[in-house]
Amino acid sequence: MKIAVDAMGGDNAPAEIVRGAARAAMELDATILLVGREKDIKAELNDYYWDFSSDKIQIVNAAEVIENEDKPVHAVRTKKDSSMVRAVELVRDGEADAMLSAGNTGALMTASLLRLGRIEGIDRPAIVTSVPVIAEDGRFEIIVDAGANSECKPQNLMDFAYMGSVYYRSAYGKESPSVGLINIGVEETKGTPTLKETYQLLKMSSLNFVGNVEAREVPNGPADVLVCDGFVGNVVLKLSEGVTKTTMKAIKDAIYSSAMSKAGGLLIKGQMQKLKDKFNYETYGSAPILGVNGLVFKMHGSSSANAVYHAVHSAARVASGNVVEEIRNSIKDYQKQ
């Protein structure tokens, strides 16, 4: 297996990207293709991994870098020799089974659309994000769409549900993942006309649809695959992150506010650290862009070496399956109905 990594994308590139990817390479039965400025990548590798074989790590030179400030379409069109575009092209040309980037999300979406093309029948590719179910150790749920499409039609949401189900099975090994529709009430008459229509389509589908899901339930894992438009998905993800962070901080402040509670804080430190690890977004893997002809994963812009390490691992797991082909078949099947 070969996995391409955009070594130049993200706030901490290339140092953290190269280190994390190289660490994953040592463990995986795969070759990591580090795409970017050869000189910069080599310098990083020499600092940390003076002893690696080309079975494990190869460098693919690319002279340009797409920056966060770049306008997506313009950047992809003009920076043809950028690390991001080259890495996507490796997937297109069959030279890599998947690619990952922590760079400009819009540009990554655009590069995927322009270089790989949409899967037939898919109008809108979507970004999928995994989040841990706070109430249940070790379980994850996914949100589709996590931010690519602010406004959606019922047909788009149906595509998200099918793509999400295929992906969840591949990433987490569950045969018939449950699908929930994020809505403002559980009754099928709730929400916008778009959601009411989507509810009916999901009810008639072959998916394991469990109905509408209220936002309040999201931390309890009401379904494996949570379907919503990208605006709501973005709000759910960022608010969950924000509330968790602020609540943990408030607790820390409360503990530090008296000598007695400070002593108590020392005694619970070990358990709190375990909890903090659970909330650690660095270990959740990466977010695939589904609906294009190839495996592309978006990593968090501020990914550390540790985050990259986990992201490459999870991408390799998914790449060992056959997600793109399965999505193609799944969409073909249900659109025939």
CB atoms within 10 A of CB 276: 11
Q: For residue 190, give the amino acid letter.
A: K
Could you tell me whether strands 98-101 and 2-6 are parallel, antiparallel, or unpaired per DSSP bridges? parallel
Q: Does 261 bind a copy of itself (CB under 8 A)?
A: yes
Between 20 and 180, name the residue whose CB sits nearer to a copy of itself: 180
Q: Pseudo-torsion of CA 130, 239, 21, 62, nearest 10°?
A: 110
CB 74 to a copy of itself: min, Å: 14
Nearest to 98 by CA among 19, 32, 13: 32
Q: Does 139 bind a copy of itself (CB under 8 A)?
A: no
Element housing 104 (H / E): none
Distance CA 81, CA 83 (A): 7
Between 108 and 236, name the residue whose CB sits nearer to a copy of itself: 236
Q: Does 73 bind a copy of itself (CB under 8 A)?
A: no
Between 222 and 285, name the residue whose CB sits nearer to a copy of itself: 222
Q: Does 106 bind a copy of itself (CB under 8 A)?
A: no
Between 46 and 271, name the residue whose CB sits nearer to a copy of itself: 271
| The pair of three-digit structure tokens given for residue 327, joined into one six-digit string | 């999505």
Residue 23 CB-half CA count within 13 A = 16
- What mask of x and - would describe binding to a copy of itself in positions 150 to 169, judged by CB under 8 A? xx------------------
Q: Does 26 bind a copy of itself (CB under 8 A)?
A: no
Q: Does 268 bind a copy of itself (CB under 8 A)?
A: yes
Q: Does 186 bind a copy of itself (CB under 8 A)?
A: no
Residue 327 CB-half CA count within 13 A = 30
Distance of CA 258 to the CA centre of its chain: 41
Angle between helices 38-48 and 15-27 (to 10 degrees): 60
Q: Does 238 bind a copy of itself (CB under 8 A)?
A: yes
Q: Does 283 bind a copy of itself (CB under 8 A)?
A: no
Contact 130, 138 (CB under 8 A): no
CB 238 to a copy of itself: min, Å: 4
Q: Does 42 bind a copy of itself (CB under 8 A)?
A: no
Distance CA 179, CA 103 (A): 30
CB 157 to a copy of itself: min, Å: 14
Distance CA 83, CA 37 (A): 8
Q: Does 140 bind a copy of itself (CB under 8 A)?
A: no
| The pair of three-digit structure tokens given for residue 263, joined into one six-digit string | 């002593």
Contact 105, 124 (CB under 8 A): no
Between 42 and 245, name the residue whose CB sits nearer to a copy of itself: 245
Binding a copy of itself (rule: CB under 8 A), the pick from 34, 60, 207, 218 is: 218
φ and ψ at residue 241, rounded to 5 degrees: -60, -45
Q: How many residues bind a copy of itself (CB under 8 A)?
A: 56
The single-letter DSSP state of residue 150 is S
Binding a copy of itself (rule: CB under 8 A), the pick from 30, 122, 143, 232 is: 232
Distance CA 27, CA 41 (A): 20
Q: Does 220 bind a copy of itself (CB under 8 A)?
A: yes
Q: Does 219 bind a copy of itself (CB under 8 A)?
A: yes
Binding a copy of itself (rule: CB under 8 A), the pick from 47, 254, 302, 332 is: 254
CB atoms within 10 A of CB 192: 11
Between 51 and 266, name the residue whose CB sits nearer to a copy of itself: 266
Select the span of 60-68, 165-173, 202-210, 247-255 touching a copy of itself (CB under 8 A). Answer: 247-255
Sites of contact with a copy of itself (CB under 8 A): 134-135, 147, 150-151, 182, 184, 191-192, 214-220, 230-232, 234-251, 254-255, 257-258, 260-261, 263-272, 274-275, 278
